[in-house]
Amino acid sequence: MTTPPALSLLVILPESILTLLASFIFVVEPFVPKKKKAWIGRLSVVGLLLSGLTIIPLVGRDITAFAGMITLDAYALLFKGILLLIAAAVVTLSFRYVRVEKIEIGEYYGLILFATVGAMLLAASTDLLSIYLSLELMSISFYVLAAFMRKDPKSVESGIKYFLTGVFTSGIILYGIALLYGMAGTTHLGAISAYLSSQEAISPLYVVAIILLIAGVGFKIAAVPFHMWAPDVYEGAPTPVTAFLSTGSKIAVFAAFIRILMTGLHFDPSHFGPLGDLKNWGWLLWWVAALTMTFGNIAALTQTNFKRLLAYSSIAQSGYLLIGLVAASETGRIAVLIYAIAYALMTLGAFATSILLCDKNSRGDQISDFQGVARQHPAIAAAFVIFALSLVGIPPTAGFIGKLYLFNAAIQEGFYSLAVIGILNSVVSLYYYFKIIVAMYMEEAEEERVLSVSRPELAVLAAMAIGTLLLGLYPEAMIRMVMTSVQIFS
């Protein structure tokens, strides 16, 4: 099964455009005068949207390229579309932020583009080698981005912490991959699955490999007990980077994780005796999901820093997403994808609020910065209320639809306790989101602040708010799209 080179290149056309553009940016950046650097940002948005346009003619095709490393199916395309939109929103949100924080350097946008390429390839990889390589492409870009405000000790600290945990994690993932390769003799997910199905007994090597892989991926998606890095990194990194890290990176890793679990390690557990009874990896994920939700929500209760609070909230959201993987059914997969879309919208929106509040005097990342915002900027406050409602899971928002599907999937597969834990956690999360809403509507600002909001930022904020509401009110189109994309697993 060899794909002609021309067709292989077609498969990675959206990524190729971004790679070329990013390389171009790195080359011309030193020759761009200081006043004109904003154009690099605008060029990046154009490139991201152009790359999004090239996805449209690819819809409906199913091609595997590069010796089975990269695939082009409905699932990969859906994630590529989501990731491109996230990246475009992040770049747009950066325009004013980089000016305020004095990091107006073209490489910033180039690195965001490279991270996007890595994330997109991650969603399209069907081989453990290509998964590892795209994961590294994405992570290495993020290490630099997290430390990008090099004059700010917090940002540098966040960069070094992310770097050390990230590299440590990739070492663990890699060892898991090595063990799987040694056992199955291949790194291709489909071939690994075929090998596992042909075996009579489960090998202890397999158990070790699974634990290493889940631990490694757990680090990347900030699941408890591998979450320690997330609050520090999220707090210190530039806010648009934090937004990208918590949405783009997490969603891409989830895309690859679903592929690993559902294609690579999926087999009938019934003939494996005692270890098979544990539903192979399901029981491990059950605990990770329950702990992640509970810890994330409880730790978020006492936070005073907005970015740190959202970091814990995003840990909790990872826990909700894991519910769908524990259920591992068709509904579970649909639920994860729907919630991932909702999560991208509402989390980006919440970070966008913080970016809008950032100016020369304050970074907009303390909850006290939100005091009295409703009086001066009612539209920003109203948008945040929509995101908060969605994050809690109150109708009519996208977050509600996502949680409905997740808990439904858990109940269908008989994981009642997990669904109950999830619902109780949603109730707990009400408290800390409303703390911010209270600050916005009921408290007075210590001193009057006039925000210099720019149009592109407001446009992104409005798009996120409208998207969150629309997907909550009319979810049919999204659900249909998600259903076609998960058919590759059945």
Partner 1 sequence: MIPLSYYVAVSVVLFVIGLTGVLIRKNFLIILYAIELMLNAANINFVAFAHYAQDVTGQVVSLFIITIAAAEAAIGLAIIIVLFRKKATTNVDEINLLKW
Q: Which stretch binds partner 1 (CB under 8 A): 34-42, 94-102, 177-185, 447-455?
A: 177-185
CB 303 to partner 1: min, Å:
7
Does residue number 174 form part of the binding site for partner 1 (CB under 8 A)? yes
Q: Using the minimum distance from each CB to partner 1, give the nearer residue, 158 or 314.
A: 158
CB 182 to partner 1: min, Å:
4
Q: Tokens 């068709």 correspond to what residue?
A: 330
Measured distance CA(477)–CA(206) in Å, rounded: 40
Per the CB < 8 A criterion, the answer to whether 72 and 65 are in contact is yes
Burial class, 182, CB count within 10 angstroms (exposed 0-12 / middle 13-18 / buried 19+): exposed
CB 107 to partner 1: min, Å:
12
Closest CA to 347 of 299, 379, 315: 315
Q: Using the minimum distance from each CB to partner 1, give the nearer residue, 363 or 403.
A: 363
Pick from 68, 231, 319, 364 the residue near partner 1 by CB under 8 A: 231
- Sign of the C-alpha dihedral computed for residues 103, 244, 61 and 478 taken in this order: negative
Identify residue 12 by its one-letter amino acid code.
Answer: I
Closest CA to 428 of 397, 400, 393: 393
Does residue number 144 form part of the binding site for partner 1 (CB under 8 A)? yes
Q: Which stretch binds partner 1 (CB under 8 A): 54-62, 114-122, 133-141, 362-370?
A: 133-141
Q: What is the DSSP string of 157-208?
A: HHHHHHHHHHHHHHHHHHHHHHHHHHHHS--BHHHHHHHHHH-SS--HHHHH
Does residue number 177 form part of the binding site for partner 1 (CB under 8 A)? yes
CA 186 centroid distance within chain:
28
Peptide bond into 396 cis (omega under 30): yes
List binders of partner 1 among 300-329 (CB under 8 A): 302-303, 308
Closest CA to 369 of 433, 304, 314: 304
Provide CB contacts within 8 A for 443, sequence distance 6+. 371, 372
Q: Which three-class secondary structure state does DSSP give residue 364? A: coil
CB 73 to partner 1: min, Å:
23
CA 135 centroid distance within chain:
12
Does residue number 414 form part of the binding site for partner 1 (CB under 8 A)? no
Does residue number 181 form part of the binding site for partner 1 (CB under 8 A)? yes
Measured distance CA(202)–CA(393) in Å, rounded: 40
Q: Using the minimum distance from each CB to partner 1, give the nearer residue, 65 or 341.
A: 65
Binding mask 261-300 for partner 1 (x = CB under 8 A): --------------------------------------x-
Pick from 178, 451, 470, 479 the residue near partner 1 by CB under 8 A: 178
Does residue number 186 form part of the binding site for partner 1 (CB under 8 A)? yes
CB 157 to partner 1: min, Å:
5
Binding mask 428-447 for partner 1 (x = CB under 8 A): --------------------
Identify residue 207 by its one-letter amino acid code.
Answer: V
Does residue number 236 form part of the binding site for partner 1 (CB under 8 A)? yes
CB 9 to partner 1: min, Å:
21
B/e letters for 50-65, b = 16+ CB within 10 Å, e = fewer, are ebbebbeebeeeeebb
Closest CA to 69 of 9, 130, 16: 130
Q: Which stretch binds partner 1 (CB under 8 A): 232-240, 283-291, 445-453, 465-473?
A: 232-240
Does residue number 223 form part of the binding site for partner 1 (CB under 8 A)? no
At 155, list the tokens.
């940002």
Q: Using the minimum distance from each CB to partner 1, give the nearer residue, 236 or 456.
A: 236
Q: Cα angle vertex 352, ends 347, 355, to 5°?
A: 135
Q: Which stretch binds partner 1 (CB under 8 A): 19-27, 165-173, 195-203, 375-383?
A: 165-173
Does residue number 110 form part of the binding site for partner 1 (CB under 8 A)? no
Q: Using the minimum distance from each CB to partner 1, give the nearer residue, 239 or 331.
A: 239
Per the CB < 8 A criterion, the answer to whether 352 and 458 are in contact is no
Binding-residue total with partner 1 (CB under 8 A): 42
Q: Using the minimum distance from each CB to partner 1, give the nearer residue, 302 or 362.
A: 302
Q: Which stretch binds partner 1 (CB under 8 A): 143-151, 277-285, 397-405, 432-440?
A: 143-151
List binders of partner 1 among 145-164 (CB under 8 A): 147, 150, 153-154, 156-161, 163-164
Q: Which residues bind partner 1 (CB under 8 A)?
A: 129, 132-133, 136, 140, 143-144, 147, 150, 153-154, 156-161, 163-164, 167-168, 170-172, 174-175, 177-179, 181-182, 185-187, 231-232, 235-236, 299, 302-303, 308
